[in-house]
Amino acid sequence: MILSIESSCDDSSLALTRLEDSKLLWHAKISQEQEHSAHGGVVPELASRLHAHNLPLLLQRAKEFLGGKTPFAPLKAIAITTRPGLAITLLEGLMMAKTLALSLKLPLISVDHLKGHLYSLFINQLHARFPLSVLLVSGGHTLIIEADSPTDMRIIAKSLDDSLGESFDKVARMLGLGYPGGPEVEKCANLCPAGEQYPLPLPLKQKSALAFSFSGLKNAVRLAVAKTQPLSQELQAQICAGFQTTACAHLLHKVRAYLEHARVRCFGLVGGVSANAYIRTQLEILCAQFGVELLCAPLEFCTDNAAMIGRAGVESYHNEEFVDLRTLDISPHTEILESVG
C-alpha cells in the first residue's frame, strides 16, 4: 500500500491505498474550519501551525490502524501533495513525507493537487477513465481540464479573477453568514421561494472567450447588500439564491460553449464546490442534452483529502514515477499547462 499526505490548504489528511486494486483502506482528515471561521477565511500562518500539530496525530492513527510490531512494513511508497497550494502549508506535509521516506527507505511520489481532484472520481476503482474532461470548482480554482491520459492533461479554461469557491466565501462574509461560505450560501438559498431570487448580472455574457469571471458578480452582491441595511432574512435568502443561480448559469454557459466544440464522451465535476446540489443537478441536465456521461466525485471526497492523492499516487507508482528526495520541493503553481490556441 502507499501512504498519502495532503496539506495544500487548511485540511490535514492522510490515507492508505492498496496498490493491487486501488482500494482505499483507511482515510482520516482534521478540518481547520472552526479555527479559521473567526477570520472569515484561511490564515496561512495559522493553517501551517495547525498542520504541524494535526499531521502527527493522523500519522499515529494510521500506525494504530496498521497495527503489529512493524506497522509501516506494508508501505511501498509515500505520496505527497507538492503543488499547487499555500507554500507554508505544503511544506508541513513535505517535511513529514521526506522524514518518512528517509527513515523507512521508501520512494517518494509527487502529486499535483489538481490531478488529485481529477482522481477523486476514481477512488476505490481499479481503472481511471480516459479521455476525460472535468470542471474543477474549488476554493482556489475554477477550471476546465482535458485529460487524454494520466500524463497528458491541459487547462482549457480558467477564471480571470476569483475562483467560485472564494466567491462563495466572500458572499457569505458580506451577508454575515458562516465559514466556509459554500454550504452556508447554499443552505440560505434553499430558503428562498422559487422565482424570488435577487436578479444579478450574468458574467461575460457577451464574451465568446472560454473563461470564467466572478469578480463582477461578487461586486453586484456587495452593491445589493449596501442598498438595504440591516438585511432581513428574506433578503439574505434572495441574494444567496440569486448569487448561486447566476454563478451556476455562468458555469453552464461556458461549459455549454465547450461541449459544443469538443468531442466529449465523459465529463467530470470535482472540487469542493462540486458538493453543491444545485450545480450538480443543473450540470447533469446540461450533459444529458449533449449525450455526455457526467461523473461526480463522492460528496465525502469533494473537498481536499488524502484519498484522492493516494489514488493519483497509485497511478504514478505503477508507472514508476518517483522523485528524488533531495531535490523535491513545493510550488504554488500547477504542473498542468494551459492549452495554446
Binding residues for Fe cation: 113, 117, 304
Instruction: Report the C-alpha dihedral over residues 299, 172, 143, 290, rounded to 10 degrees.
Output: 70
Beta carbons of 51 and 57 less than 8 angstroms apart: no
Q: Pick out the residues of the known binding site for substrate.
A: 136-140, 169, 182, 186, 276
Give residues with Cβ within 8 angstroms of 234, minimum separation 6: none
Cα(66)–Cα(78) distance, integer angstroms: 15
Euclidean distance between CA atoms 47 and 45, whole angstroms: 5
According to DSSP, the β-strands at 11-17 and 132-137 are: unpaired
DSSP summary character for residue 7: -
Task: Decide: 165 and 243 in contact? Cβ < 8 Å.
Answer: no
Report in angstroms the alpha-carbon separations of 195 from 221, 240, 241.
18, 13, 9
Q: What's the CA gap between 205 and 301, in Å, rounded?
A: 32
CA 29, CA 266: separation in Å to the nearest integer?
30
Strands (E), the chain: 2-6, 11-17, 24-31, 77-83, 108-112, 132-137, 142-149, 152-158, 266-270, 293-296, 337-338
- Show binding-site residues: 113, 117, 136-140, 169, 182, 186, 276, 304
